[in-house]
Chains A and B, each alone.
Chain A
Amino acid sequence: MAASAAVRSSMGLTLRLSRVIPDCSTCPLFRLKCNAKNVANLQRRGSFDSLRTINRHLQTSIGLYHSEEGSSNAEHPEDVVNVVYIDRSGQRIPVKAKVGDNVLYLAHKHGIELEGACEASLACSTCHVYVSAAHFDKLREPEEREDDMLDMAPMLQENSRLGCQIILTPELDGIELTLPKVTRNFYVDGHVPKPH
Chain B
Amino acid sequence: MEGANKCILNHVRRHCGTLIVNAGFPRTVMAVTQGTALKTLDVNLSRVFAGGCGKASLSSCSPKVCIVGSGPAGFYTAQHLIKARQDVEVDIYERLPVPFGLVRFGVAPDHPEVKNVINTFTQTAKHSRCSFYGNVNVGKNVSITELQQAYHAVVLSYGAEGNRSMGVPGEDLAGVYSAKDFVGWYNGLPSCRELSPDLSCETAVILGQGNVALDVARILLSPIDILKKTDITQPTLEALAESQVRRVLIVGRRGPIQIACTIKELREMVNLPDTRPDMVAADFDGVKEALKDLPRPRKRLTELMLKTALEVPGEKEQERRSKASRTWGFRFFRSPVEVLAEPGHSRIAGIRLAINKLEGSGDGAQAVLTGEVEDVPCGLVVSSIGYKSLPIDPSVPFDSRKAIVPNTMGRVKQAAGLYCSGWLKTGPTGVIATTMNNSFDTARSILEDMDSGTLDMSAAKPGSQSISALLEKRGVKPVTFSDWEKIDNVEMKRGESRGKPREKLLTVEEMLHVAWT
A and B interact: yes
Chain A residue numbers with a CB within 8 Å of B4 are 1, 3-4, 26-28
Q: State how many angstroms separate the Cβ of A177 from the closest Cβ of chain B.
A: 16
Question: Which residues of chain A from 45 to 62 have any CB-CB distance to chain B below 8 Å in the complex?
Answer: 46-48, 50-51, 53-54, 57-58, 60-62
Q: State how many angstroms separate the Cβ of A100 from the closest Cβ of chain B.
A: 22
Question: Which residues of chain A from 78 to 134 have any CB-CB distance to chain B below 8 Å in the complex?
Answer: 87-92, 111, 113, 115, 117-119, 121-126
Whether B117 contacts A90 by the Cβ 8 Å rule is no
Interface size on B, residues (CB 8 A): 68
Tell me, yes or no, whether B56 is within 8 Å of chain A by CB: no
Total A-B residue contacts, Cβ distance less than 8 Å: 181
CA A14 to CA B438, docked complex, whole Å:
35
Whether B430 contacts A196 by the Cβ 8 Å rule is yes
Contact of B409 among A113, A147, A153, A185 (CB under 8 A): A185
Tell me, yes or no, whether A12 is within 8 Å of chain B by CB: yes
CA A67 to CA B296, docked complex, whole Å:
43
Q: State how many angstroms separate the Cβ of A14 from the closest Cβ of chain B.
A: 6
Whether B262 contacts A32 by the Cβ 8 Å rule is no
Whether B438 contacts A28 by the Cβ 8 Å rule is no
The DSSP consensus for interface residues of chain A is loop
Chain A residue numbers with a CB within 8 Å of B37 are 13, 61
Residue of B nearest to A33 (CB): B48
Interface size on A, residues (CB 8 A): 68
Tell me, yes or no, whether B300 is within 8 Å of chain A by CB: yes
Contact with A along B298-315 (1 / 0, CB 8 A): 001100000000000000
Interface hit among B108-116, B149-157, B458-466: B108-116
Contact with A along B103-130 (1 / 0, CB 8 A): 0000000010110110110010001000
Chain B residue numbers with a CB within 8 Å of A19 are none
Chain A residue numbers with a CB within 8 Å of B395 are none
Whether B426 contacts A152 by the Cβ 8 Å rule is no
CA A177 to CA B264, docked complex, whole Å:
26
Chain B residue numbers with a CB within 8 Å of A10 are 15
- A152-B262, A156-B296, A196-B210 known; A92 vs B433 contact (CB < 8 Å): no
Contact with A along B421-445 (1 / 0, CB 8 A): 0000010011111101110110011
Chain A residue numbers with a CB within 8 Å of B377 are none
Q: State how many angstroms separate the Cβ of A88 from the closest Cβ of chain B.
A: 8
Tell me, yes or no, whether B468 is within 8 Å of chain A by CB: no
Contact with A along B26-62 (1 / 0, CB 8 A): 1111111110111001001100110100000000000
Residue of A nearest to B128 (CB): A44
Tell me, yes or no, whether A77 is within 8 Å of chain B by CB: no
CA A126 to CA B116, docked complex, whole Å:
13
Q: State how many angstroms separate the Cβ of B421 from the closest Cβ of chain A.
A: 11
Chain A residue numbers with a CB within 8 Å of B113 are 118-119, 121-123
Residue of A nearest to B429 (CB): A196
Tell me, yes or no, whether A151 is within 8 Å of chain B by CB: yes
Chain A to chain B: the 3 pairs with minimum beta-carbon distance, closest first:
A151-B297, A121-B113, A123-B113
Known: A28-B8, A126-B433, A183-B437. 4 other contacts (CB 8 A): A3-B4, A4-B11, A32-B44, A193-B437
